[in-house]
Structure 1
Amino acid sequence: MNRNLTLLTALAAALVSPLAIVPAAVAQAAPAAAAAPVAMPAQIALIAFEQAVFACNEGQVAAQGVQKKYEPKKAQIETLATEVDSLKKQLQAAPATLSDEERASRLRAIDTKEKQLNRDAEDAQTAYNTDLQEALGKVAQKLSVSMKNYSQSHGFTLLLDVSAQGSNVLWALPSTEITQAVVDDYNKTSGIAAPAPAAPSAARPRTTAPAAKPAAK
């Protein structure tokens, strides 16, 4: 699991893994004090919660919004990277008659700009990841409520999150995996349309989303 999405993982673990759901009919039918435990047949479902957060329309809109915010910073970093590369090429192409003093001066200039480039890139990546995590965390909170409602309305008694790489689910029938169904249901209730495809960008700051992990089958 990617270290930069611990917020989503913690939220999924707290709200989803595992999520015991007691049908309302059973709770209402049981007498207050003298009720004997009622054995309920298990109805288990699986969900890749992190994948659902990124896949729903609202999650995609949130991610694109963060990417758009950092486009100017990305352009600045690209410009500085081009400048550093140009200085290196100029030094490589310099004649052998270049004095040691001039060579050392150019090396210092390259080193200074390269350190600035690395610092700016790291700062931008950290800020980008923080904003992305915050934006998707808000989506995750709302999606978790919709997910529970969906599970209850479909009679599931146990919902397991299989987002983590170390999931203990080794095999399950494909019909028990409800990630897309929950995403579709949330898209309907949220009223948010799918965003237009983002324009290709050569060096967009990388997201730290975990690779999509299919549910165990």
Structure 2
Amino acid sequence: LINTDFFADDKQGIGRLVNAVKKVDTEFTPRRNELQALKANMDKLTADIQATANVADPKTLQQKSDQLEAMKREYQRKGEDAQAAYNKRLQESVGPLYEDIGKSLDAFARSRGITLLLDAAKIGPAILAATDAMDVTRAFIAEYNSKNPATASSAGPGR
């Protein structure tokens, strides 16, 4: 039994994987900040429209409403673009690592005579009972980290 959800855990996970994810997160900080600023501007404009709805000129209100709709479309588009770019970049970054982790997991299981390894992250509700001794997650992560230190290149194995 193994739980792959723990592989990306900040404190107890696979160091190279954690570093790769953090690196991609850092790359996308400017986009995240831009989206947050746009959202704040939308919220401010919404509040302004609501506060002046009864006293403002209808033409001015319509202009502000049109501006808000344009901002919402921009926010939606930029958010979708950022999410797609993030997912692509994350896959490029961690894909090779996951391949290496998979190979290492196969070798780990073979070396311990394990013929079937179930991922608790994928089938958790189907596991009705299991002892801690059956869970090899910590042992695998420790072995992988010792053979593949986090200070090694995060670009992936063999690069």
Pair 1:143-2:65 in alignment: no
Deviation at 1:108, TM superposition (A): 0.6
What's the CA shift for 1:93? 2.3
- 1:210 maps to which residue? none
SS of residue paired to 1:159: coil
Aligned equivalents of 2:49 and 2:4: distance in 1?
A: 51
Give the Cα–Cα distance (whole angstroms) in 2 for the partners of residues 93 and 178 of structure 1: 59
Give yes or no for contact 1:57–1:187 (8 Å, CA) kept in 2.
Answer: yes
Query: Could you tell me which residue of structure 1 aligns to residue 20 of structure 2?
Result: 62
Report if aligned partners of 2:24, 2:86 keep a CA contact under 8 Å in 1: yes
For 1:135, give the aligned amino acid: S
Q: What displacement does 1:192 show?
A: 1.6
SS at match of 1:62: helix
- Alignment counterpart, residue 36 of structure 2, candidates 72, 75, 78: 78
Which runs of structure 2 are paired with 1:1-16 in the superposition (5 Å)?
A: none
2:155 matched residue in structure 1: none
**Deviation above 3 Å: which 4+ runs of structure 1?**
165-169
Indicate whether 1:108 and 2:66 are aligned.
Answer: yes
C-alpha change, 1:126 and 1:95, in structure 2 (3 Å) is closer
Stretches of structure 2 that go unaligned for 5 or more consecutive residues are 152-159
| In structure 2, C-alpha distance between the alignment counterparts of 1:68 and 1:79, rounded to whole Å | 17
Q: Deviations over 1:24-53 (max 9, x none)?
A: xxxxxxxxxxxxxxxxxxxxxx11234335
Give 1 or 2: higher helix fraction. Answer: 2
Map 1:46-195 onto structure 2 (within 5 A).
46-52=1-7, 55-94=13-52, 96-165=54-123, 168-193=126-151
CA 1:125–1:163: 2 relative to 1, 3 Å: same
* Deviation digits for residues 158-191 of structure 1 (CA, Å, limit 9, x no counterpart): 2222221466432222101101110110000002
Q: CA RMSD in A?
A: 2.1
Distance 1:50 1:142, change over 3 A: farther
The answer to whether the Cα contact below 8 Å between 1:47 and 1:178 also exists between their aligned partners in 2 is yes
Q: Which runs of 5+ in 1 are unaligned?
A: 1-45, 194-217
Max radius of gyration: which structure?
Answer: 1
In structure 2, the CA distance between the partners of 1:95 and 1:155, relative to structure 1 (3 Å rule), is closer
- Report the Cα distance in structure 2 between the residues aligned to 1:129 and 1:192, rounded to whole angstroms: 22
Query: Is the alpha carbon distance of 1:163 and 1:107 closer, same or farther for their aligned partners in structure 2, counting shifts above 3 Å?
Result: same
CA contact (8 A) 2:4 2:119 kept: yes
